[in-house]
A and B are shown apart, each in its own frame.
Chain A
Amino acid sequence: MTAETRTDTTAPPTGLPAALEGLAGCTTTQGIPTLFAPRAGNEITAGLFFRVGTADETLATSGITHLVEHLALHRSGVSDTHHNGATAGTYTLFHVTGTEAEVVAHLNSVCASLRDLPLERLETEKEILRTEAAGRGRGVNHQLPLWRYGAEGYGLAAYSELGVWRLTPDEVRWWAQTRFTRDNAVLWITSDHVPEGLELTLPAGRRIPAPAAGSALPTTPAYIGGEDGQVVLDAVVRRSTAASLFTDVLGRALFQELRQEGGYSYVADADYSPRDADRATVTAFADALPQKQDAVTGAFVDVLARLRAGRIEPAELESAKSKALKSLEGPDVAAAALPSWALNLLMGHEIMSPDQHRERIAAVTVEDVRDVAREAWSTALVQVPGRDLAWAGCAAAPQYSPAAVEGTRHASLEDGRVTLVIGAEGVSLLLPGGPVTVRYDRCAAMTARPDGARVLTGLDGFRVEVEPTLFKGVTPERLAVIDAAVPQGSVVPLPPRDEVPRPQARSRARASGSRTVVSGSPAVPVAQPSTPGRSVLRWLIWSVTAFFTLIAVVLTLDELTAPVPDTDVLLGVWILELPLALASWSQWRTRPRA
Chain B
Amino acid sequence: MSSTYRTTGTVKGPPRLDPYDLHPEMAELRTLVTARDWPGVQAFFDARSQTDQTYAASLVSEMPGAETFLADAAARHPAAPLPRTLLAYRQVVIGWGIRSAARAQHVSRDQFRQFHDWLRRAEQQLIDVCAEQPGFPLAWYVRLITARGLELGQSEARRRYDRLAAVAPHHFAGQSQLLQQLCPKWGGSWELAHGFARECAAAAPNGSNCAVLVADAHIEHWLDLPSPEDQAYMRGVPVRDDLRFAAEVSVWHPDHRPDTRWTAAHNTFAMAFSVGGHLRDAARHFAVLGDRADPSSWKYLGDDARAVFAKHRKAALAAR
A residues neighboring B (CB under 8 Å): 262, 264, 291-299, 301-302, 305-306, 308-309, 311, 386-387, 390-393
Q: Which residues of B contact A311 (CB under 8 A)?
A: 131-132, 134
Q: Across the interface, do A293 and B150 meet the contact criterion of CB distance under 8 Å?
A: no
Q: Across the interface, do A387 and B128 meet the contact criterion of CB distance under 8 Å?
A: no
Q: Chain A's nearest CB lies how many Å from the CB of B187?
A: 10
Q: Chain B's nearest CB lies how many Å from the CB of A346?
A: 40
In the bound complex, CA of A30 to CA of B156 (Å): 61
> A388 — nearest CB in chain B belongs to which residue?
B150
In the bound complex, CA of A305 to CA of B128 (Å): 6
Q: Which residues of B contact A299 (CB under 8 A)?
A: 159
Partner of B124, one of A262, A302, A392: A392
Q: Across the interface, do B127 and A301 meet the contact criterion of CB distance under 8 Å?
A: yes
B residues neighboring A (CB under 8 Å): 116, 119-120, 123-124, 127-128, 130-132, 134, 146-147, 150-156, 158-160, 162
Task: How many A-B residue pairs have C-beta atoms within 8 angstroms? Tell me.
Answer: 64
Q: Chain A's nearest CB lies how many Å from the CB of B92?
A: 12
Q: Chain A's nearest CB lies how many Å from the CB of B114?
A: 14
Partner of A308, one of B116, B123, B131: B131
Q: Across the interface, do A264 and B131 meet the contact criterion of CB distance under 8 Å?
A: no
**A298 in contact with B131 given A390-B120, A391-B146 (CB within 8 Å):** no
Q: Across the interface, do B159 and A391 meet the contact criterion of CB distance under 8 Å?
A: no
Q: Chain B's nearest CB lies how many Å from the CB of A347?
A: 35
Q: Which residues of A contact B132 (CB under 8 A)?
A: 309, 311
Partner of A387, one of B124, B146, B153: B153
In the bound complex, CA of A387 to CA of B152 (Å): 7
> B119 — nearest CB in chain A belongs to which residue?
A391
Can you add 15 more A-B contacts, CB < 8 Å, to A297-B152, A309-B131? A294-B152, A295-B153, A297-B156, A298-B147, A298-B152, A302-B131, A386-B153, A387-B151, A390-B120, A391-B120, A391-B124, A391-B146, A391-B150, A392-B123, A393-B127
**A305 in contact with B120 given A294-B152, A294-B156, A387-B153 (CB within 8 Å):** no
> B122 — nearest CB in chain A belongs to which residue?
A391
Q: Chain B's nearest CB lies how many Å from the CB of A427?
A: 31
Partner of A295, one of B146, B151, B159: B159
Q: Across the interface, do A294 and B155 meet the contact criterion of CB distance under 8 Å?
A: yes
In the bound complex, CA of A57 to CA of B155 (Å): 43
Q: Across the interface, do B131 and A262 meet the contact criterion of CB distance under 8 Å?
A: no
Q: Across the interface, do A294 and B123 meet the contact criterion of CB distance under 8 Å?
A: no
Q: Which residues of B contact A393 (CB under 8 A)?
A: 120, 124, 127
User: What are 9 inter-chain pairs, A to B, with CB distance below 8 A?
Assistant: A262-B159, A296-B155, A298-B156, A298-B160, A302-B127, A302-B130, A391-B119, A391-B120, A393-B124
Q: Which residues of B contact A291 (CB under 8 A)?
A: 154-155
Q: Which residues of A contact B152 (CB under 8 A)?
A: 294, 297-298, 387, 391
Q: Which residues of B contact A305 (CB under 8 A)?
A: 127-128, 130-131
In the bound complex, CA of A54 to CA of B310 (Å): 78
Q: Across the interface, do B158 and A295 meet the contact criterion of CB distance under 8 Å?
A: yes
Q: Which residues of A contact B162 (CB under 8 A)?
A: 262
Q: Chain A's nearest CB lies how many Å from the CB of B70?
A: 20
In the bound complex, CA of A566 to CA of B11 (Å): 99
In the bound complex, CA of A293 to CA of B153 (Å): 9
Q: Across the interface, do B127 and A295 meet the contact criterion of CB distance under 8 Å?
A: no
> A288 — nearest CB in chain B belongs to which residue?
B155
Q: Which residues of B contact A264 (CB under 8 A)?
A: 155, 159
In the bound complex, CA of A97 to CA of B147 (Å): 56
Q: Which residues of B contact A296 (CB under 8 A)?
A: 155
Q: Chain A's nearest CB lies how many Å from the CB of B104?
A: 16
Q: Chain A's nearest CB lies how many Å from the CB of B119?
A: 7
Partner of B155, one of A292, A301, A308, A309: A292
In the bound complex, CA of A306 to CA of B158 (Å): 19
Partner of A293, one of B123, B127, B155: B155
Q: Chain A's nearest CB lies how many Å from the CB of B154?
A: 7
> B151 — nearest CB in chain A belongs to which residue?
A387
Q: Which residues of B contact A292 (CB under 8 A)?
A: 155
Q: Across the interface, do A392 and B159 meet the contact criterion of CB distance under 8 Å?
A: no
Q: Which residues of B contact A392 (CB under 8 A)?
A: 123-124, 127
Q: Which residues of B contact A308 (CB under 8 A)?
A: 131
In the bound complex, CA of A293 to CA of B154 (Å): 10
In the bound complex, CA of A299 to CA of B147 (Å): 13
Q: Which residues of B contact A301 (CB under 8 A)?
A: 127
Q: Across the interface, do B127 and A294 meet the contact criterion of CB distance under 8 Å?
A: no
Q: Chain A's nearest CB lies how many Å from the CB of B17?
A: 35
Q: Chain B's nearest CB lies how many Å from the CB of A4?
A: 45
In the bound complex, CA of A305 to CA of B130 (Å): 9
Q: Which residues of A contact B153 (CB under 8 A)?
A: 293-295, 386-387
Q: Which residues of A contact B134 (CB under 8 A)?
A: 306, 311
Q: Which residues of A contact B128 (CB under 8 A)?
A: 305, 309
Q: Which residues of A contact B119 (CB under 8 A)?
A: 391
In the bound complex, CA of A305 to CA of B132 (Å): 8
> B163 — nearest CB in chain A belongs to which residue?
A302
> A294 — nearest CB in chain B belongs to which residue?
B153
In the bound complex, CA of A458 to CA of B131 (Å): 40
Q: Chain B's nearest CB lies how many Å from the CB of A316?
A: 14
Partner of A298, one of B116, B151, B159: B159
Residue from A298, A306, A392 having most chain B Cβ neighbours under 10 A? A298
Q: Chain B's nearest CB lies how many Å from the CB of A385?
A: 10
Q: Chain B's nearest CB lies how many Å from the CB of A154?
A: 30
In the bound complex, CA of A306 to CA of B119 (Å): 21
> A298 — nearest CB in chain B belongs to which residue?
B156
Q: Chain B's nearest CB lies how many Å from the CB of A390?
A: 6
In the bound complex, CA of A294 to CA of B181 (Å): 14
Q: Chain B's nearest CB lies how many Å from the CB of A446?
A: 38
In the bound complex, CA of A392 to CA of B124 (Å): 6
Q: Which residues of B contact A387 (CB under 8 A)?
A: 151-153
Q: Across the interface, do B123 and A391 meet the contact criterion of CB distance under 8 Å?
A: yes
In the bound complex, CA of A291 to CA of B123 (Å): 22
In the bound complex, CA of A262 to CA of B134 (Å): 15
In the bound complex, CA of A80 to CA of B182 (Å): 64
In the bound complex, CA of A27 to CA of B147 (Å): 62
Q: Which residues of A contact B120 (CB under 8 A)?
A: 390-391, 393
> A310 — nearest CB in chain B belongs to which residue?
B132
Instruction: List 5 A-B pairs, minimum CB-CB distance, nearest first.
Output: A294-B153, A305-B131, A295-B155, A294-B156, A298-B156
Q: Which residues of B contact A295 (CB under 8 A)?
A: 153, 155-156, 158-159
In the bound complex, CA of A48 to CA of B147 (Å): 53
Residue from A264, A295, A306, A387 having most chain B Cβ neighbours under 10 A? A295
In the bound complex, CA of A294 to CA of B159 (Å): 9
> B166 — nearest CB in chain A belongs to which residue?
A261
In the bound complex, CA of A591 to CA of B134 (Å): 66
In the bound complex, CA of A28 to CA of B127 (Å): 55
